Amino acid sequence: MGQLVSNLKKAREKAREEKRAEAHSDAIDHQIIQDSIRSKKECNILLLGSRGSGKSTIVKQMQIIHQDGFDTRERAEYRTTIYKNVLDSAATLARVIRRRAQLGALPTGRVSARPGTAEGPTPAAAVLAQTHAVLTPALADAIWHVARAPAVEKLVDEHPADFYLMDCVGYFFSAIHRIADPTYIPSEEDILHARAESTAIIETRFSMGGLAICILDVGGQRNERRKWMHCFESVTSIIFCAAVSEYDRVLEEEPRMATLQNRMRESLYLFESVINSRWFLRTSVILFLTKIDVLKRKLPKVPLGHYFPEYTGGNDLQKAAKYILWKFMQKNRAKLPVYPHLTQANDTKNIRLVFAVVKETIQQRALKDSGILE
């Protein structure tokens, strides 16, 4: 009798085991089928463009617009990047101030004054000039005062091409005390301004008005571009990002070259190789001319014609944007349809509007691919 009960128990256990294995196998089969359905229906968007052109910022916008944005934990994770942006920019500024002061372009190392202290002016530049690993309150204070010093503002305005300051520097410096607060948690706007170079291909999936989208973000640095090829197959649309404000910038990736490559020319060259590539004959190409806000601020101070002599439109924003767009369109030898948009990638309102149009473009391509549209 005991033996019988034990055998029955074993048989029941075995049956349960088999059922579990079967359920597990069914779940795997289900996932495979779902994946295959999804990969057929999914629109693959590939973000291309040179370094710092706004690709990852577009992905962040998709997370804000089409997903749930960033929760507190995710926002807190951006602190390190933002501190690094601030400290790196402060170090660059300190280097420039020191060099200029040595050359006599600035009166002394004591660039900024906190009025009315018994000790006299705060030696903010001296604080800034030290190597900092953390954003201390003293450093935050120094940054605040230095960034506001008329001599420094003039220096940055008049020599924008002499040194590289990130586009986000003005935004972060003006919020420096908030950032230096020990309880600081970045806002979504801070995250959109944060700068971290991409060094891997990142896939993000979301749904946009019934369309299943898989967006691929790559790194734009020269040594990252070898990886781009791996993403070329089955791409529905390309969003090529190019920063319109970079006409006076050079690539820091090749500091030892005799003549530094102009960033805008590099971007034009890159666009030319993408748009005339055999890979993308059936792909819709969306051109995002980003940093239109930076172009607006920069044009009156840095003449576009100085870097592109054939341009004669002065500091008229529309004319300048039209000229830059024309330069890109000139590269389209394959005469592929190109859908251009002037954008400010870190402005959610603007990207929301732009993507309402982009969605139509992507949808048309998807319908053509499925044979529903000619």
Q: Which residue ranges make up the annotated binding site for GTP?
A: 217-221, 345
Query: Least distance to ligand GTP from the beta carbon of 350, Å?
Result: 8
167 is in the binding site of which of ligand GTP, Mg ion, none (Cβ under 5 to 8 A by kind)? ligand GTP
Q: Do residues 143 and 170 lie in contact, with contact meaning Cβ atoms separated by under 8 Å?
A: no
Backbone angles phi, psi at 202, to 5 degrees: -115, 130
52 binds ligand GTP (CB under 6 A): yes
Quick check: 186 binds ligand GTP (CB under 6 A)?
A: no
Give the residue from 29, 11, 56 showing the smallest Cα distance to 219. 56
Q: From the list Mg ion, ligand GTP, none, which binds 345 (C-beta under 5 to 8 Å, kind-based)?
A: ligand GTP
Would you say 51 or 132 has its CB closer to Mg ion? 51
Rounded Cα–Cα distance for residues 85 and 171 (Å):
11
Minimum Å distance from CB 75 to ligand GTP?
A: 15
* Residues found in the chain: 374
Q: Which of 64, 219, 231, 298 binds ligand GTP (CB under 6 A)?
A: 219
Cβ atoms 320, 166 nearer than 8 A = no
**Residue from the set 44, 89, 122, 344 that interacts with ligand GTP by CB under 6 A:** 344
Q: Which residue number, 66 or 291, has a Cβ lying nearer to ligand GTP?
A: 291
294: partner contacted, choices Mg ion, ligand GTP, none (Cβ within 5-8 A by kind): ligand GTP
Nearer CB in complex with ligand GTP: 123/219: 219
DSSP H or E segment with residue 11? helix 2-41
Dihedral sign, Cα of residue 317, residue 319, residue 325, residue 327? negative
Q: How many Cβ atoms sit within 10 Å of the Cβ of residue 349?
A: 8
**Contact pick of 44, 45, 46, 49 for ligand GTP (by CB under 6 A):** 49
Quick check: 123 binds ligand GTP (CB under 6 A)?
no
256-315: contacts with ligand GTP (CB under 6 A): 290-291, 293-294
3-state secondary structure of 308: coil
Residue 53 interacting with ligand GTP (CB under 6 A): yes
To the nearest whole angstrom, how small is the minimum distance from the Cβ of residue 51 to ligand GTP? 4
CA 227 – CA 219 distance, rounded (Å):
9
Kindly state the number of chain residues that form the binding site for ligand GTP, as judged by CB under 6 A: 27
Residue with tokens 């929760």: 71
Rounded Cα distance, 62 and 362, in Å: 15
Give CA torsion, residues 60, 62, 66, 68, to 10 deg.
-10
Residues of this chain that interact with Mg ion (CB under 5 A) are 55-56, 198
